[in-house]
A = this chain, B = another copy of it.
Amino acid sequence: MNKEITIYDIAKDLGVSPTTVSRALNDHPAVNVKTKQKIFDAAKQMGYRSNVFASNLRSKKTNNIGIIVPRLNSSFQSSVLAGMEKVANDAGFNLIISQSLESSEKEKANARTMFNSRVDGLLVSLASNTENVEHFNAFLDKGTPVLFFDRVASNSGCTGVVIDNTQAAYNATKHLIEQGCKNIIHVLGNTKINVYADRLKGYKYALMDHEIPFNSKNVIYSDLNEEAGEDIANKIINKKTLPDGLFVSNDACAASCIQTLKQAGIRIPEDIAVVGFNNDIISRLIEPNLTTTHYPGYEMGEVAMKNLINHLGDNSKGVLQNTNTITLRSELIVRSSSLRQKTT
């Protein structure tokens, strides 16, 4: 366990001051190129590595960005993270990642940890039972930017990166209506989350615009996980009148739903046309292939991270700060699970 090399060691070796070494290593313009080269070479040769803690302590920057997601093991979230990691890594930032497991309490604890770790910025997708976002105020008070993605806080004054969930749900529902559906069930998660609240709105608007009365019994709230799909299918099967359309807010759940419906002898899409959400890999592999909305996870991660990093430099104190919502393009992908008439 050989001792760490510090700038003092380099300075002594080369007969210059630690100040100059520090400046050289940070590529400060006021250091002579020849001196700089000499210092770089010595640093490399001596196996120097910067002590981030000393550096952070003095400069009050950490180069760490915190991320809080509801679950790490979600296909969508992991795409987002992949996008974020790419951008952050290229820009020289580290990621500190934690999951709230959909618990507002754990989200608060995670936020506190991030706060104590003094992350330079924070990216959050909210837990499903988070009612308010006061636990992020400490960051804002300190001037640390907080940016929400996917599941955003409507009233926070922070930038949010989202898709237009209302429009996407509108399009999905409209598509079902155009395929002849008149009795469409919508399966969604907790409407405390903007994502589901907005989709419900889109669903309602589409019905309205096509003069189909909204029936609250056609809305099923669910965890949207795999097991839930089976329950939902059973609920549907037990209804007095079978619906002719099904719009599920999640592909995996829709897929498991389809499976159970098929086992009960219901034909997809002839009896029930089904639309999912997310464009997960599974939507392309189940039978029939699932109509869904492409949700650009990787891109969302990239955009959110880029935007946050832009907020960090002190060059940003101006207009950029005013960005409130960044909306990404999403797209309905029509596949056979909902296609009844072959005309478009």
Q: Are A2 and B285 in contact (CB under 8 A)?
A: no
**With A110-B89, A117-B94 known to touch, is A284 a contact of B226 (CB < 8 Å)?**
yes
The A contact surface, by secondary structure, is helix
Q: Are B99 and A85 in contact (CB under 8 A)?
A: yes
Partner of A142 from B1, B79, B94 at Cβ < 8 Å: B1
User: Which stretch in A9-17, A47-55, A169-177, A188-196 binds the other chain?
Assistant: A47-55
Instruction: Please state the number of chain copies in the assembly.
Output: 2
Measured between alpha carbons, how far is A252 from B285 in the docked complex, in Å? 8
Q: Which size bracket describes the interface of A in this complex?
A: 35 or more
Q: Are B284 and A287 in contact (CB under 8 A)?
A: no
What are 30 A-B residue pairs whose CB atoms fall within 8 Å in the complex? A1-B142, A49-B116, A52-B53, A52-B116, A53-B54, A53-B56, A53-B57, A53-B118, A72-B81, A72-B85, A73-B82, A73-B297, A73-B298, A75-B75, A77-B78, A81-B97, A86-B99, A89-B98, A89-B113, A94-B117, A95-B96, A96-B96, A226-B284, A226-B285, A256-B284, A256-B285, A259-B285, A281-B282, A282-B282, A285-B286
Q: Using a CB–CB distance below 8 Å, which chain A residues touch chain B?
A: 1-2, 49-54, 56-57, 62, 64, 71-75, 77-79, 81-82, 85-86, 89, 94-99, 110, 113, 115-118, 141-143, 226, 252, 255-256, 259, 281-282, 284-287, 297-298
